[in-house]
Chains A and B, each alone.
Chain A
Amino acid sequence: MGKELPQQDTEVKTELSRDLNLFQITMMGLGMMIVLGIGNSIYITGPGGVILTFTLNGLLALFTAMSYAELSSAIPKAGGTYNFARIGFGKGISFISGWMEWFASSVAGSMYAVTFAIYTLRYFEQIGMLAWFPPRYSELFIKPVAVLIALFFIYINYRGASETGKIGALITVAQTAFMIFIGITGIIVAVKDPSRLQNFKPFLPNGWSKLLVTMGFTYVAFEGYEVIAQAGDETIEPRKNLPKAMLYSVYIVCLTYIAVAFATIVAVKAGSPGVTGEPWRWIGSFREKGFGEAVARLIPAGNFLLTLAVIFSSTSALNATIYSATRTSYALGRDGMLPAVFAKISEKRKTPSMALFFTSVIIISLAVFLPIVHVASSASIMFLFLFFIVNLSVIKIRYNMGDELSYGYLSPFFPVFPVAAIILQIALAIWLAHMSLIAWIVAPAWIILGIIAYFLYSKKHASTVEGDIRVYWKKKEHRKQAKLTG
């Protein structure tokens, strides 16, 4: 590997306030878990397919989480994927990564704000608070409620990482506890009445190929590790806590989803009042509402409680995505890739106030003006592109700079898992393209806009960071070696 550079300092310096502990950042990752894909998955792939979907997604997510864990332990800085790409591939690719990450997280934030608004209004309808109001006009409240909840969490994020972590952790604990309660109830019901296991027949009525479709659109629930990677500057003992939190969050999400999907299938007894045909077909016929209809038969007032759970999960996901999008744009500003105003830190709160402001403008504008469903699909494609870059970065950085960086974790059986993740994520991205054509127009359009911004601004203004020095130094060494070996 040639002459060694001095190893990095073990203590990682930061301008932000370092007060997030392992529990808080694990909860940040769990906050991305949102239980809206189960009914549709049952409809597309059947009762066994939904369990297989979450099991296999858990494994795929763990492969990428291990890459994130290794890189975050060596480069624990706000910016996540952008930082890794900067050290692995230099300025151009890293700018595009950060640019995509900023947009994808902001769009996801808008989607969660709108989801919150829809379910909150549904909650008020269920308890009769909107009875005096003509139902068709309740739609008018969706956008204002979405903006209000977005503003609330923008303020929480402005207050500081500690507040963000505490509030987010509280909401996520409530949401996860409810999901685990549903899962345990389902298991108890199946033990008491084993005939309900017949609901799993046929196991895969629509064949194995449908699994790729359901894995594609539910994968977003597992990407909490991407949010955790943004907390590198604000985590206590980041080299140890970041990788742990990433792996724990993926594992807990995987087990919770499997338990909840199992409970959904066994919740409905064949031949019970209102249920026609096979229970899984009956649940699937409600599509995204199928999960709620099934849980209503498992737990008294289940539909009502589920509405509350979705409100909880959308707020924690909104909180996490605002945090992630802000840290990415802050990192771009810090390194001169975006104007310096993005890197301004509030003296009082020690939070990136201007990055938060610009991110808020995107989130609120998208929530108010755009058809969020198709734009959200393009965000999913961009997240898959990002994971592709991260899995490539982990291979390149380990081989080129493994003896210069201080690691807190190394992915085992290297490079088998990153390579497997790259192949599987390409497959999922292609299947997502089959689901939304508009997504494959919006995503490239945003990337082209980023390329233009890079050549007009970022390339000239980008400051040289430690990563660039290392990349440059390595290139020089390789040229020397090539000359010596002829």
Chain B
Amino acid sequence: MVSMDKDTVLGIVIIIATLSFNTFLVFYSKKMIEKISGMKRTTVRDIFKELHG
């Protein structure tokens, strides 16, 4: 079993959190691109109206 010091624990937490956040942003963005591609008008106002009501 590998024992871990403070830097190791913090480093691993940062790596996992950052990768999870990256994954969330990429998949959220992909979903948004697909939604926007189905809209007729796509100004910022139109997109916000469609996505957030």
Whether A407 and B36, one on each chain, are in contact in the complex, defined by CB atoms closer than 8 angstroms, is yes
Question: Please, which residues of chain B bring their CB within 8 A of the CB of A198?
Answer: 2
The answer to whether A407 touches B42 (Cβ under 8 A) is yes
Bound-state CA distance A34–B2 (Å) is: 32
Q: Ordered nearest first, which 7 A-B pairs have the shortest CB separation?
A: A402-B44, A203-B8, A403-B43, A204-B7, A48-B11, A203-B7, A240-B37
CB pair A402 B43 closer than 8 Å: yes
A61 to B, closest residue via Cβ: B22
Contact between B44 and A410 (Cβ–Cβ < 8 Å)?
Answer: yes
User: What's the Cα separation between A247 and B25 when bound, in Å?
Assistant: 9
Note all chain B residues with C-beta closer than 8 A to A247: 25-26, 29-30
Question: Is A86 an interface position by the 8 A CB rule?
Answer: no
Tell me if A309 is interfacial: C-beta within 8 Å of chain B.
no
Residues in B neighbouring A405, C-beta threshold 8 A? 43
Determine whether A29 belongs to the interface, using a CB cutoff of 8 Å to chain B. Answer: no
Tell me if A128 counts as interface (CB < 8 A to partner B).
no
**A240 and B33 within 8 A (CB):** yes
Contact B44 A409 (CB under 8 A): no
Please choose the segment from A52-60, A299-307, A318-326, A454-462 that sits at the chain B interface, where 4 or more of its residues have CB less than 8 A away.
Answer: A52-60
- Among B11, B19, B25, B32, the residue within 8 A (CB) of A203 is B11
Cβ B43 vs Cβ A407 within 8 A = yes
Question: In the complex, how many residues of chain B place their beta carbon closer than 8 angstroms to a beta carbon of chain A?
Answer: 27
Q: In whole Å, how far is A344's beta carbon from the nearest beta carbon of chain B?
A: 34
Residues on the B chain within 8 Å of A66, using CB: 25, 29
Given contacts A51-B15, A200-B8, A203-B7, contact A59 B33 (CB under 8 A): no
Task: Point out the residues of chain B lying under 8 angstroms from A56, CB to CB.
Answer: 14, 18
Q: Is the CB of B42 within 8 A of A58?
A: no
A383 CB to nearest chain B CB (Å) = 21
Does A254 have its Cβ within 8 Å of any Cβ on chain B? yes
A429 to chain B, nearest CB (A): 22
Give the residue of B8, B19, B28, B43 whose beta carbon is less than 8 angstroms from that of A55.
B19
A50 to B30, CA, bound (A): 29
Given A7-B43, A403-B43: A248 in contact with B26 (beta carbons within 8 A): yes
Per a CB cutoff under 8 Å, which of A197, A402, A404, A412 touches B25? A412
- Report how far A403 CA is from B8 CA in the complex, Å: 47
**B28 & A412 in contact (Cβ 8 Å cutoff):** yes
A474 at the interface (CB under 8 A from B): no
- Across the interface, B44 reaches (CB within 8 A) one of A48, A58, A407, namely A407
Contact indicator A407/B14 (Cβ below 8 Å): no
Q: Does A251 contact B26, Cβ atoms closer than 8 Å?
A: yes
Contact of A52 with B43 at beta-carbon distance under 8 Å, contacts A59-B22, A69-B29, A408-B36 already known: no
CA distance A251 to B30 in the complex (A): 12
Nearest-neighbour CB distance to chain A for B34, whole angstroms, equals 8
CA distance A198 to B1 in the complex (A): 9
Q: Contact between B11 and A204 (Cβ–Cβ < 8 Å)?
A: yes
